[in-house]
């Protein structure tokens, strides 16, 4: 396999100005990732600052209701409310090692932005977060949090005013300030080495979950389910199970208002292979190769492309990708809140929606869901759907 590729997917599709930094990052990541001291520092933060290992919780009420055994990997209990802090801390530590004094990031739901602002505050880095203007509206609370953490939030008014436009602006900033700035990309996406590096950081989720479920159930789960936006929480929990073929892996994309309406963000339902924002992967695009506007109630899934390794796992059929609509997602959101007393993020609710929808298929089976984030940020959005 070519370096930086997962089958035919991946690569490094960036302007020439960024190439030296891409190499610098690759070299730094592999050097420090092998360093015992770096690992110790990183794992120290994960334990005492993030609060890892996160619990694996047997959701008994939902289990009874669905007729299966459901475990939730409680990433919602991470400091800042989602798994995003893992990658943010890993890359911020790396930025320090590379001698960069400033970090930038894109954010959709605001979770990655908050995570980066947090890591930057902790490690004393200057921080600037790009966020689509529409997302600034949708996720006000996270904007306020970033501001309180000392980060500058720049609303992006261009294009569709969502995550992809925030990435464009972050890339423009990086091209401009490449000598002093590290770009903390928030998912297993973009040019190599990002997909690989982010995967290595977040794979702690799956390693913990495998160990925990083994301890509780003395066996591997029958199915592992995660939502897929860029795909970091899914990659994190899937990674240790990829080689165990007896474990079914399911990725759930944003079905929005339904695939047939065109208002969705399900790349594997309506996309085709293309090159976008640094990598070759499945992309929602028109016949002229222009990137399509996407839609989801969950801003963290509202993106036109997907991590290249997910495309590889889809084509090699190791992972099954499906989608859940907004409606199904909201149902799962309320059910989990009321049955378990856990308000899940709308992103993670997509994974729960899959389980609820398919409970007959997984009857009496052992099901593991990555509850990638908590839903505090979504309460406004959700309350608008009940009382418009």
Partner 1 sequence: MNEITNVFRRLNREGKKALIPYVTGGDPSIEKTYEFMEFLARNGADIIEVGIPFSDPMADGPVIQRASERALKAGTAVKDIFALVRRFNKAFTIPVVLMGYLNPIYAYGVERFVSEAADNGVKGLIIVDMPPEEAGEICPLLRKYGIASIFLATPVTNRDRILKIKKIARGFLYFVSVTGVTGERDEIPTDILEKIKEIKGLISLPVTLGFGISHPRIVEEFFPYLDGFVVGSALVRRWEHSFSVDDPELKNFFQEMVIACHGS
- CB 142 → partner 1: shortest distance, Å? 24
Nearer to partner 1 by C-beta: 178 or 204?
A: 178
Residue 119: count other Cβ atoms within 10 Å of its Cβ. Answer: 29
Instruction: Write down how long the chain is.
Output: 388
Active-site pick, 26, 75, 84, 100? 84
Is 3 noted as a catalytic residue in this protein? no
Helix, strand, or coil (residue 136): helix
- Please state whether beta strands 319-325 and 248-256 pair in parallel, antiparallel, or not at all (unpaired): parallel
57 beta partners: 72
Active-site pick, 232, 328, 372, 377? 372
Cα 346 from Cα 330, distance rounded (Å): 8
Nearer to partner 1 by C-beta: 194 or 362?
A: 194
Is 349 noted as a catalytic residue in this protein? no
Cα 255 from Cα 118, distance rounded (Å): 31
Residue 233: count other Cβ atoms within 10 Å of its Cβ. Answer: 33
Helix, strand, or coil (residue 260): helix
Using CB under 8 A, list all residues that contact partner 1. 11-17, 19-21, 158-159, 164-165, 167-168, 171-172, 175-179, 273-278, 283, 285, 287-291
Do 226 and 187 meet the contact criterion of CB atoms below 8 Å apart? no
Is 164 noted as a catalytic residue in this protein? no
Nearer to partner 1 by C-beta: 35 or 176?
A: 176
Nearer to partner 1 by C-beta: 122 or 291?
A: 291
Cα 215 from Cα 217, distance rounded (Å): 6
Active-site pick, 26, 75, 106, 347? 106
- CB 195 → partner 1: shortest distance, Å? 15
- CB 122 → partner 1: shortest distance, Å? 28
Active site residues: 84, 106, 372
């Amino acid at each position: 396999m070519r370096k930086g590729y997962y089958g035919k997917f991946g690569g490094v599709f960036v302007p020439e100005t960024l190439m030296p930094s891409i190499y610098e990052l690759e070299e730094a990541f592999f050097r420090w990732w092998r360093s015992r001291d770096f690992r110790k520092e990183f794992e120290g933060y994960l334990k005492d600052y993030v609060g890892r290992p996160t619990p694996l919780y047997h959701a008994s009420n939902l289990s009874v209701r669905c007729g299966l055994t459901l475990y939730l990997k409680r990433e919602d209990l991470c400091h800042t409310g989602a798994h995003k802090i893992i990658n943010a801390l890993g890359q911020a530590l790396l930025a320090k090692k590379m001698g960069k004094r400033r970090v930038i990031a894109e954010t959709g739901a605001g979770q990655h932005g908050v995570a980066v602002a947090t890591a930057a505050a902790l490690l004393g880095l200057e921080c600037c977060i790009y966020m689509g203007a529409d997302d600034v509206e949708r996720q006000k609370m996270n904007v306020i949090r970033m501001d309180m953490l000392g980060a500058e939030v720049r609303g992006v008014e261009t294009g569709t005013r969502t995550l992809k436009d925030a990435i464009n602006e972050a890339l423009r900033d990086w091209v401009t300030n490449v000598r002093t700035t590290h770009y903390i990309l928030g998912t297993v996406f973009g040019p190599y080495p990002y997909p690989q590096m982010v995967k290595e950081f977040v794979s702690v989720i799956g390693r913990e979950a495998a160990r925990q479920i083994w301890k509780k159930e003395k066996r591997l789960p029958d199915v592992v389910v995660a939502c897929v936006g860029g795909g970091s929480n899914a990659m994190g929990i899937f990674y240790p199970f990829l080689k165990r073929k007896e474990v079914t892996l399911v990725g759930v994309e944003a079905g929005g208002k339904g695939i047939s309406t065109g208002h969705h963000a399900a790349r594997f339902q309506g996309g085709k292979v293309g090159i976008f924002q640094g990598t070759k992967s499945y992309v929602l695009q028109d016949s002229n190769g222009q990137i399509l506007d996407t839609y989801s109630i969950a801003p963290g899934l509202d993106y036109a492309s997907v991590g290249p390794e997910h495309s590889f796992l889809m084509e090699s059929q190791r992972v099954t990708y499906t989608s859940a609509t907004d409606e199904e997602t909201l149902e799962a959101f309320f059910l989990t809140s009321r049955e378990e007393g856990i308000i899940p993020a709308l992103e993670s609710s997509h994974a729960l929606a899959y389980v609820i929808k398919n409970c007959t298929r997984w009857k009496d089976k052992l099901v593991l869901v990555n509850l990638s984030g908590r839903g505090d940020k979504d309460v406004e959005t959700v309350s608008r759907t009940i009382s418009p």
